[in-house]
Structures are given as structure tokens and as C-alpha cells.
Chain A
Amino acid sequence: MSTEPLIFECGAPGRQGAKLPALDVPARPLEELLPSDQVRAEPVPLPEVSEIEVVRHYTHLSQRNFGVDVGFYPLGSCTMKYNPKINEVMVGLPGFARLHPLQPEHLVQGAIQLMYELEQMLAEITGMARVTLQPSAGAHGEITGLMIIKAYHESRGDYHRKQILIPDSAHGTNPASATLADYESVTIRSDARGGIDVEHLKMLLSDRIAGLMMTNPNTLGMFDENVVEIARLVHEVGGQLYYDGANANAILGITRPGDMGFDVVHLNLHKTASVPHGGGGPGAGPIGVKEHLVPFLPGPLPAKDEHGHYYWVDAGPQSIGRVRANHGNFGALVRAYTYLRFNGPDGLRRVSESAILNANYLMRALQRDYELPYDRTCQHEFVLSARRQKEEYGVHALDIAKRLLDFGVHAPTIYFPLIVPEAMMIEPTETETRETLDAFIGYMRQIAEEARTNPDLVRGAPYTTPVGRLDQTLAARKPDLRWQADHK
């Protein structure tokens, strides 16, 4: 029961799960159509399996996978909220699913309208002038935004700005994106309250600064109270402010990056706007910009004429250019549009308020058993430390995470942010019942108790999952990354 064979190990020669109708045009010999040196010698050695074998195999695999629909998924910074089912129905409508991206505009009016209206909604939510829907994920939005900032400086003849300031609590994508834009990442320390250390920031500011990337609330789940001052300081030296929207689930209708002083913002629609994470993707990472950066946006952008017709406008001469083919992850955009229209303005504010309430409810209940390094009201998430468990009982955050799996919940994000030792980052989201939160509190307390009385039990977890702890060292040292017919 506890292993599932690979699809390559199933089936028998000659089996086939799907067939096409017979060829309805005269068949010509292959050698008449293609030069022999361009033709593959053997068919692709794909599996030979019947439909039912495929169905059972992937159903079994799905049963070995944990999703939001299976149980509580408090994975911090990932906003694992419930994914409404209507979204999935809408995206499957043939009028959306069966569209070719190069169809003439007059045949895709509904699609452009949806993107036009979504752009307007996202601009309002973020307080920005315009939005591009092209970026496919948060990190894709980051590099797009940084290239826009770079193009802006260059348009002013300002070529000497080479640094991007990034707090030490930031996601790894921030510095990785800065490198891609050919910027040097400069790390800003956090202060005792978990925010940006403003004094340190002042020391780092210079006319070499292209911009600052900031997540607010940050990855500790703390809203940075100094954000206005930070924005002023960065703008004073001519830098631009980038808002990493990974934590935007805390601010809907409460505050807006544009009002905080940010020039560019991305939203992870697969977090905030209920687009399912799909086991790793697809998501969507649209970015919004203030008026002065609009000329640099990738194109085309959707537009509407006075007769109510929708059309695409090519980017202007200052645009950074496309960041992907076609118009973005349209399927994700349909889901996000559905979600935003479902909630409306009051509903979105309630989303954030409820996410904040649930997080504080958990945080206050858990701080008795686990160290709370920043003892402040949190926003949509918070970070605990297993430092005490580690020092006193030799039980690490990793062990606690694995033990949680035995209770049928997903583990929090662990060892992130990097500034908290033995970090456990917990984000319950707004879509969980009080009973689920109470049950989680119970599991965490029980594990704290187990760490004290029976640490080996925690260190040996998990016990109830299809596989136990996996050998990561072996995986990296002797990479086995594909099946091959001749190895077992």
C-alpha cells in the first residue's frame, strides 16, 4: 500500500489509453514528407497503459497528496485559503478555455473585458495607476517591477544606480530578482520590533540606490509602522519603492501600497485572490505602478473605446517590453476576477480582518508553549520559535513540523524568515473555522508536551504518512531525477 509504482512500470506492450479517429486524408509515406535525418528513429518510449490504469495511478497519487481541501494548511507566507469551486467551473467554460491567444479582438471581447475590469479592480485595491497582468507569478512580477524601475532611472539619464535595498526578513526571490535585473542586493537589518531598522537604512541610503523592496506586513506578520518615513527617505535619494505583495491578504480595504508610498506593487493572485496553488503553480503575479512608471509597463494593455469595444494597445517606446508570451495566465485571472466580484469591497475587507483575527487568536493561544520572538499584535500571520524546545529537549522546528503531519494538518513554513532561529511561520487564513483553529492549538500544545516528556517521539515523526522522513542528503548527493528502463 505504501508505495505506488511509476507509470513506466505499469501496463503492457500494445496498451493504449486514448485513440484518435482514423486519418481522413490520404496517408503519404513519411520519407516523402520529411528528410530522413530529421526523423526520430524510434517512437518516444512513453508508457503503454490503458485508461483505467492511468486513472487509478493518478488517483492513487492524489491520495498521497495533501491539499487545502484535505485539511488545515497554515503554511506561512503562502496564504493557503480555501479555493472556491465556482472559480474552477468558470475557468472551464469553453468561451474562456477554448480561446486561441491570437484570435482577432472582436472575437474575444469577453476575455479582454474581463482583463480590463480585473486591471481596474487591482489598481483600486493597490492604489496604483495601471496594472499589467502579464507576470505569471510573484517572482515574475518582481523582476518585471525591477526592470521598470531600471528603465525609469535610465530614462532620466541616471545610469549609476546599482543597488537594491532588501530587508533581512525578505523572501529569497527579492535578492534573486535583483540579480536578474543586474542590481546588487544590499541587506537592511530589522529592528527590535521586527520592522526595518530606520537608522541602518539611513546609513545605506545614497544616490547609488535604485530602490527598496519591502513586504508589508513583513514576513514576521508585522506591519511596519515606519513605512511612511521609509518611503520618504528612499524617495529623497531618488530611489523607487517596490511592494512585495506576498502578504497582501492582510491589507485588503484597510490600506493600500500606493497610499503607503510605494511606486510598484505585485500581487500574488494565487495567494490573495484564491487562485489554487496547483501543487506549485500556475499562479499570477500582476504588478501595478504609479503614474510616472506607466510608460515603462510591458504591453499590450487592454483598453475600451467609447462604443464599449475592448482592444489591445501596444506598448509605447519606453516600455521594457514583453515579459512572457501572450497575455498572462488567463485561467488564473478568470479565477481572481470571479473571487473579487464575489467578495466586493466589504467582503474583501472582511477577508483581511478575519485573516488577522484568526492569526492573533492562534498566536495568543500558542505563545504559552512556544517562544514568540516579537510580542506584538500580528497581522495575517506570525512567527514562533522552537528555540526553547531545541535548547531544552533537542527538538527542532523540523521535528515539530513533521509531528504535526501525524495530526492530519500541514506543517507551517519553517526556518523562515532567516532572522528567527527555529522559525515556525503560521498563517491560518480567513477561511478556517474556530474549531479547526482550536484543534490546531491542541495539537501544538500536545507536541510541546511531547517534546518535554518524550522528545524521541517528536524526533521520529511522522508515523501516519505514506512515507517517513526522506533522505535529502542521498537525493542531493546521488541525484536520481528520472526513471530509466535499465535501472531499478
Chain B
Amino acid sequence: MTYIPNTPAEQEEMLRSLGVTSIEDLLDSVPEEVRLKRPLNLPAALTELELLRLLRGMAERNVDLDHLVSFLGAGTYDHFVPSVVDQLVKRSEFYTSYTPYQPEVSQGMLQAIYEYQTMVCQLTGMDVANASLYDGATATVEAALLAVGPSGRGDVLVSRAVDPQYRQVLRTYAHGRGFTLKEVACADGITSIEDLERQLGVDTRAVIIQHPNFFGNLEPVQQIEHLTHQTNGLFIVSITEPVSLAILNPPGAYNADVVAVEGMSLGSSMSYGGPALGMFASKAAYLRRLPGRIAGRTVDNRGQTGYVLTLQTREQHIRRERATSNICTNQALLALAATIYLAVLGKQGFRTVGEQCLQKAHYAYEQLVQIPGFRPAFDQPFFDEFALRCPVPVAGLAAALEQRGIIPGYDLSRDYAELEDTLLVCVTEMRTRQDIDALVEALRQATSSSTRSPSMRA
């Protein structure tokens, strides 16, 4: 019971000072009929040493990416995190603090959020950013909610090349809030311009694309922007791999209205997919419709620069049912990690991370498409992820490669029936040339034996 410092004897003294004899006397407002009259049916308490053994055992029943050669991306990306990031995020003045409601004793977190907002604007080329949302999927939802506005109605068009999980979350909220979600078809691995044109109309409130999209391909962003802005709809760009912004044109440069980013790539561990980091930025025109916390710079009564949470009349604790969002707790600590990550890599280092992802992915692509039976699924430019048509179903290949400790990528047929035998391969700076060559060799061997199998489809 080491987390409760007062001893039973001290607690008895405290009870006596209250004029009662037992803790039961303080519980008399809990009606007898709802009292739990037995102990909770939970495993018995463990000591710290027992817990260490138990959880280490559970952790070891997982095979982590230090023990696999993984080419999995599909929304979550394995990137190098310099040691300083973790060490600084572990400063307990940061991680044991609450949302900075008392700015005089929260300047550290507030200034870090201000720096974070600056970096999000620099990355995306947008005017304003908030202090973070739950993840890329819910940030995309918030972008759609901003677009439909207080009425909660209208059409939101989402490309089928947006991460399938993001589209599921959009569908959930569309039903809850009452707007209409329509999917725009793909053609050759990018959003179909023809289908987009067909579906745009007077009720369009937003068009959502992902860039690079779920297949890793670059979207024709200028064309989509142009078409979207011929209606009253907002152009929303969702980004799952923000390292791409080291190289690619920022959404602000192609006139995006709102940008929603999954920020885990920037200094956080993958941690089985969460906690994640929803980054959110927009044009200045939408500032007062932004969801969540925003930090701002101001002055104190001594004439010094200081930071506060600002524009709070948008938020639930002030505006209640008319708030722009219901979000309260966000992902501040991951925003701090992203800030430190971007600072320590800096202007040149971040660029290098982007270049290495781009180069290594293209090296892998060139090698893989030369294996007999393998060919590109699409003919599109890509950043660090691409789709590969395989001569056999991906499931069998993955099983064969796992024997060699390799995860070759993501099976796109899980989400797209038309993409059978299609593997989504991601290559970041974490993979060495040796890893890539091993993948190529393993796929070659796995398929050369299967060419003798009757199940092979060319």
C-alpha cells in the first residue's frame, strides 16, 4: 500500500478529529441497496517486484520491431527517436502536470505548446494550429465537423484512398452528428477526378483526401483543390506520415483549408498504435472554429513575456453545448515529444530523415519489381510507401517471410477486395540496405518455390 502514505493509525486519528469512528461513517450517503457487499472480484495485489516479473513476461510474449525486420506502415511508421526526446519527456514536472489552467506555474508546458503550434504551422504551411487532438483519425473527424459547422449537416466527400480506419471513424461520427459521408472512388491508386467531379455539388461541405494516400501515392492535390474550391466545400488534407512534409509541398502551398495529421512519426514510440498525436492546423479564417486548446503569447503584470491558454470561449468548459468540440484532455505530452524531436533533428536533420525514407523506399521498389511475378500495383509517384502486386496471395508470403523474421508489409486485400495479392510496403530510415536486400531475397525464394504450386496466379 505504498501509494497511500498515511498509516492506519494516522487515519484513525484523522477520523477521530472528524468526530467519527470509522470510514463507514463517511459513506452514509451511499444507499445501502447499491453498496457492493463483497470485495471486487479482481486478482490479488502484487508487489512491485512481482509486477515487474508479470509485465516483463507479458511484454516478452510480444515480438517487437527490434526483433523483426518490418516493412509495415499503413498509418503507423517506424522512425528513429533520438535519446534526448524520451529523456526530456520523462521530466516529471511535465508528465505529472495537468492541462495548464494556472499559467503562472505552467509556463513550461504552455511555451512548449506555443513552440509546437509554430512547428505544426511550419510543417504544414498553415496559419494556425491547436495544442493537439487524440489522433490522426479523430483530427480528420474534427476537420469535417469544422466544415459542416453548427448545423451538423451537409455532404462530406472522402476519398477511398484515405486510410480505411479513418474512413470508419468518419462514418461513426457522420452518423452521430448527422452529416452525410460519401466516398469518392479511386483510379490507379489515387482519387478519381471523374468521380469527384460527379459527386461535388451545392451540399458539399468538405472534400477529404490523404496525402500521400493510404497506398503511399501522391494525390493530384492542385487539381483536387481547384475542383473543391469551385464549390463551397473546404479542402481537408489528412496526413498519416508527417515525415513526408520534410520533402513534399506543404498543404498550405496548395491552398488546403484544414490539415489533420497523425503525428506519432515525430518522436513517439508506436506503442501498439497509441497514444497517438492528432495535429490540427488551418487557415487563419477558421481560427475561432478550431477544436481544443490553443496556447498564446501575452504579457504579465510585471511586463514580461508569458503564455496562456487562449480563445477559450470556443471550448466546452465555457461554451458547453455550443462548443466547437467536446475535447478536453488531449495528447499534450506527445506534442511535447514532437516539438523536441523536430528541434533536435532541426532544419537539416529532419530533411535528411525525409530524404532517406524517400531514397530507401525507391531503392526497395526498384529491387522488388524486378522479382519475377512482382509488379507495381500503380503507376504513381510515392514517398516512403508503395503497393506491390504479388504473384500469390499476401497471406502466404507473409507467413513464409515471418519464418525469417521479416514482416513484408500490409495486405491491402484486407480493406480493398479489388486489391487481391497486393502488398503495401513501407521503408523508413530505420531499414538498412541489408534489410531491404533480405526482403527481396526472401520474396524471391518464397515465390520461386510457389511457381511450382498449382495455386499460383500470374
Chain B residues with CB under 8 Å of A54's CB are 84, 88, 340, 343-344
Residue of A whose beta carbon sits closest to that of B262: A325
- Is B5 on the interface with A (CB-CB < 8 A)? yes
A residues 321-343 in Cβ contact with B at 8 Å: 321-332, 334, 337-338, 340-343
Q: Is the CB of A181 within 8 A of B165?
A: no
- Is B422 on the interface with A (CB-CB < 8 A)? no
- B324: shortest Cβ distance to chain A, in Å? 9
Q: Is the CB of A86 within 8 A of B51?
A: yes
**In the complex the two chains form, what is the Cα distance from A70 to B272 in whole Å?**
31
- Is A88 on the interface with B (CB-CB < 8 A)? yes
- A258: shortest Cβ distance to chain B, in Å? 10
Q: Is the CB of B172 within 8 A of A102?
A: no
- Is B75 on the interface with A (CB-CB < 8 A)? yes
B residues 18-56 in Cβ contact with A at 8 Å: 18, 23, 25-31, 33-36, 39-46, 48, 51-52, 54-56
Task: Choose among B29, B100, B166, B246 the residue that contacts A43 (Cβ–Cβ < 8 A).
Answer: B246
**In the complex the two chains form, what is the Cα distance from A235 to B318 in whole Å?**
31
Chain A residues with CB under 8 Å of B98's CB are 73, 75, 78, 80, 277, 279-280, 410
Chain B residues with CB under 8 Å of A172's CB are 315-320, 323, 328
Q: Is the CB of B99 within 8 A of A277?
A: yes
Q: Which of these binds chain A: B133-141, B183-191, B193-201?
A: B133-141
Q: Is the CB of B65 within 8 A of A98?
A: yes
- Is B372 on the interface with A (CB-CB < 8 A)? no
Q: Which of B36, B175, B339, B349 has the most CB of A within 10 A?
A: B36
- Is A267 on the interface with B (CB-CB < 8 A)? no
Q: Is the CB of B41 within 8 A of A479?
A: no
- Contact A281/B330 with A67-B96, A356-B27, A357-B14 known, Cβ cut-off 8 Å: yes
- Contact A107/B63 with A279-B98, A279-B336 known, Cβ cut-off 8 Å: yes
- Contact A356/B165 with A20-B80, A136-B275, A347-B1 known, Cβ cut-off 8 Å: no
Task: Choose among B56, B107, B176, B383 the residue that contacts A150 (Cβ–Cβ < 8 A).
Answer: B176
Q: Is the CB of A182 within 8 A of B178?
A: yes
Chain A residues with CB under 8 Å of B92's CB are 67-69, 83, 276
Chain B residues with CB under 8 Å of A84's CB are 3
- Is A236 on the interface with B (CB-CB < 8 A)? no
Chain B residues with CB under 8 Å of A225's CB are 29, 31
Chain A residues with CB under 8 Å of B26's CB are 353, 356-357, 360, 377, 379
**In the complex the two chains form, what is the Cα distance from A111 to B57 in whole Å?**
11
A residues 298-324 in Cβ contact with B at 8 Å: 298, 320-324
- B64: shortest Cβ distance to chain A, in Å? 4
Chain A residues with CB under 8 Å of B163's CB are 325
Chain A residues with CB under 8 Å of B1's CB are 347, 350
Chain A residues with CB under 8 Å of B138's CB are 136, 140, 323-324
Q: Is the CB of A28 within 8 A of B169?
A: no
Give how many A residues have a beta carbon under 8 Å from the other chain's beta carbons.
207
- Is A272 on the interface with B (CB-CB < 8 A)? no
Chain A residues with CB under 8 Å of B42's CB are 121, 124-125, 340, 344-345, 348
Chain A residues with CB under 8 Å of B295's CB are 481
Residue of A whose beta carbon sits closest to that of B121: A482
**In the complex the two chains form, what is the Cα distance from A298 to B138 in whole Å?**
14
Chain B residues with CB under 8 Å of A140's CB are 134, 138, 327
A residues 416-469 in Cβ contact with B at 8 Å: 416, 430-434, 462, 465-469
- A160: shortest Cβ distance to chain B, in Å? 15
- A231: shortest Cβ distance to chain B, in Å? 9
Q: Is the CB of A481 within 8 A of B23?
A: no
Q: Which of these binds chain B: A55-63, A199-207, A287-295?
A: A55-63
**In the complex the two chains form, what is the Cα distance from A196 to B136 in whole Å?**
38
- B113: shortest Cβ distance to chain A, in Å? 8
- Is B265 on the interface with A (CB-CB < 8 A)? no
Task: Choose among A47, A100, A281 the residue that contacts B76 (Cβ–Cβ < 8 A).
Answer: A100
Residue of B whose beta carbon sits closest to that of A321: B172
A residues 76-97 in Cβ contact with B at 8 Å: 78, 80-84, 86, 88-97
Q: Is the CB of B328 within 8 A of A139?
A: yes
Q: Is the CB of A182 within 8 A of B152?
A: yes
Q: Is the CB of B308 within 8 A of A475?
A: yes
Q: Is the CB of B97 within 8 A of A66?
A: yes
Chain A residues with CB under 8 Å of B358's CB are 30, 33-34
- Contact A70/B63 with A281-B329, A357-B14, A482-B129 known, Cβ cut-off 8 Å: no
Chain B residues with CB under 8 Å of A434's CB are 6, 10, 14
Chain B residues with CB under 8 Å of A20's CB are 80, 349, 352-353, 356, 429
Q: Is the CB of B95 within 8 A of A470?
A: no
A residues 248-292 in Cβ contact with B at 8 Å: 251-256, 259-260, 268, 270, 274, 276-283, 285
Q: Is the CB of A18 within 8 A of B349?
A: yes
Residue of B whose beta carbon sits closest to that of A261: B34
Q: Is the CB of A325 within 8 A of B169?
A: yes
Q: Is the CB of A472 within 8 A of B310?
A: yes
Chain B residues with CB under 8 Å of A346's CB are 39, 45
Q: Is the CB of A91 within 8 A of B271?
A: yes
- Is A178 on the interface with B (CB-CB < 8 A)? yes
Q: Mark B337-348, 1 if CB is under 8 A from A, else 0.
A: 001101111111
Residue of A whose beta carbon sits closest to that of B52: A86
Q: Is the CB of B28 within 8 A of A377?
A: yes
Chain B residues with CB under 8 Å of A40's CB are 245-250, 253
Q: Which of A33, A259, A320, A413 has the most CB of B within 10 A?
A: A33
**In the complex the two chains form, what is the Cα distance from A433 to B6 in whole Å?**
6
Residue of A whose beta carbon sits closest to that of B137: A325
- Is B326 on the interface with A (CB-CB < 8 A)? yes
Task: Choose among B4, B296, B307, B317 the residue that contacts A350 (Cβ–Cβ < 8 A).
Answer: B4
- Is B232 on the interface with A (CB-CB < 8 A)? no
- B364: shortest Cβ distance to chain A, in Å? 8
Q: Is the CB of B45 within 8 A of A44?
A: no
- Contact A322/B272 with A279-B336, A343-B45 known, Cβ cut-off 8 Å: no
- Contact A325/B28 with A61-B111, A410-B102 known, Cβ cut-off 8 Å: no
**In the complex the two chains form, what is the Cα distance from A405 to B107 in whole Å?**
13
Task: Choose among A109, A347, A433 the residue that contacts B5 (Cβ–Cβ < 8 A).
Answer: A433
Q: Is the CB of B62 within 8 A of A67?
A: no
Q: Is the CB of B330 within 8 A of A376?
A: no
Chain B residues with CB under 8 Å of A152's CB are none
Task: Choose among B62, B128, B328, B355 the residue that contacts A107 (Cβ–Cβ < 8 A).
Answer: B62
- Is B306 on the interface with A (CB-CB < 8 A)? yes
Chain A residues with CB under 8 Å of B245's CB are 40, 44
Q: Is the CB of A46 within 8 A of B363?
A: no
Residue of B whose beta carbon sits closest to that of A89: B52
Q: Mark A159-195, 1 if CB is under 8 A from B, else 0.
A: 0000000000001110111111110110000000000
Residue of A whose beta carbon sits closest to that of B25: A377
Chain B residues with CB under 8 Å of A211's CB are none
Q: Is the CB of A469 within 8 A of B300?
A: yes
**In the complex the two chains form, what is the Cα distance from A351 to B25 in whole Å?**
16
- A463: shortest Cβ distance to chain B, in Å? 10
Residue of B whose beta carbon sits closest to that of A334: B55
- Is B147 on the interface with A (CB-CB < 8 A)? no
Q: Is the CB of B320 within 8 A of A480?
A: no
**In the complex the two chains form, what is the Cα distance from A470 to B66 in whole Å?**
47
Q: Is the CB of A326 within 8 A of B274?
A: yes
Chain B residues with CB under 8 Å of A405's CB are 102, 104-105
Chain B residues with CB under 8 Å of A474's CB are 298-299
Q: Is the CB of B346 within 8 A of A16?
A: yes
- Is B433 on the interface with A (CB-CB < 8 A)? yes
Beyond known contacts A98-B64, A329-B276: 17 more, CB 8 A cutoff? A44-B245, A80-B98, A94-B64, A96-B272, A140-B327, A180-B173, A182-B177, A276-B95, A279-B336, A282-B332, A349-B40, A430-B4, A470-B306, A475-B298, A476-B312, A482-B118, A483-B114
**Would you give 12 A-B contacts (Cβ < 8 Å), ordered by A?**
A20-B353, A46-B347, A51-B84, A54-B344, A59-B91, A65-B93, A94-B59, A259-B34, A277-B98, A322-B168, A325-B262, A481-B287
Among all A-B residue pairs, the 10 with the closest Cβ atoms: A95-B59, A326-B273, A101-B273, A344-B45, A65-B108, A280-B332, A278-B333, A67-B96, A110-B61, A282-B275
